Amino acid sequence: MGKIIAIANQKGGVGKTTTAINLAAALAVLEHKTLLVDADPQANATSGVGFDLKKIKAGLYECIIDSVLPKDVILATETPNLDLLPAHIDLVGAEIEMINLPNREKMMKAALAKIKDDYEFLILDCSPSLGLITLNALTAADSVIIPIQCEYFALEGLGKLLQTVKFVEERLNPDLEMEGILLTMYDGRLNLCNQVVEEVKTYFQQIVFDTMIHRNIKLSEAPSFGKTIIMHDAASRGSLNYLHLAREVLQKNKMTRLKQTEKVINLDEN
């Protein structure tokens, strides 16, 4: 059964999409079959892995509203083991269309349930809002990763997000867990960054990932080529950071063991 991880923060520009794309790609490269789910009407994850938005005819919206089967809209990416459930702008309309439906918070969960078993990880890129689509994503998710940008007012608005996560846990999805807080766009030369890291670690303690994502120009240019960071520049710091994050996620979920042991056994045989 696949694990659904939502990447959420209602602040824009904190690294949600960059994390969703590149964590998903890193898990895929480490041989875990992964689905990147674009749950943001801006569809940055869809274009970020190389798809022309004008050519996307159906996506998550149709799966939620029109009961289209996810397997009929899922696209293979150029990364082995990585598929995409795309978004397009109509997803905005989904919020309005869902509002009067009895199960309005659980529609994404129902849609993803149809393909959950086909993947080891499903990574949801959430929109910068706490609206119904994000509530749906948190309700569908097994866990949530909150990216926090190392900058002024890093913790601003976080209370509201944590309240929302708590609300979802209490009312809609009792099994929702915190996968971790991820520090992004870290620049060790800046005192401010180090202060933010201290502050976040003091506040959130062990739920902060050991991996920090450094500010790295390659990470910001990769989407303009429609490439994940691993395809764009595998040796870049951004690539290494996201591979490290993937290993940390696998370790937390105790999934590294098996594949590595398999490799050792194969080596012995040769």
Query: What is the binding site for ligand ADP (CB under 6 A)?
Result: 12-18, 44, 128, 184-185, 213, 215-216, 219-220, 238
Q: How far is the CB of 179 from Mg ion (least distance, A)?
A: 18
Residue 2 or 15: the one with the smaller Cβ distance to ligand ADP is: 15
What minimum distance in Å lies between the beta carbon of 158 and ligand ADP?
14
Cβ proximity to Mg ion, 21 vs 140, nearer residue: 21
15 binds, among ligand ADP, Mg ion, none (CB under 5 to 8 A by kind): ligand ADP
8-state DSSP, 2: P
Indicate the residue among 16 and 88 with the shorter CB distance to Mg ion: 16
> Which residues have CB under 8 Å from 85's CB, separation 6+?
35, 36, 37, 38, 59, 60, 63, 70, 73, 74
- In order, the DSSP letters of 24-93 are HHHHHHTT--EEEEEE-TT-HHHHHTT--GGG----HHHHHHS---HHHH-EE-SSTTEEEE---TTHHH
CB of 195 to ligand ADP, least distance (A): 18
Which one, 163 or 220, has the nearer CB to ligand ADP?
A: 220
Contact residues toward Mg ion (CB under 5 A) are 16-17, 44
Question: 163 or 224, CB closer to ligand ADP?
Answer: 224
CB 77 within 8 A of CB 37: no
Whole-number minimum distance, CB 40 to Mg ion, in Å? Answer: 5
H/E element holding 97?
A: helix 91-98
SS3 104: coil
Q: Which does residue 228 touch among Mg ion, ligand ADP, none (CB within 5 to 8 A, set by kind)?
A: none
Q: Write down the least CB distance from residue 115 to ligand ADP, Å.
A: 23
- CA-to-CA separations, 242 to 16, 74, 85, 159, 259, in angstroms, rounded: 13, 24, 21, 26, 19
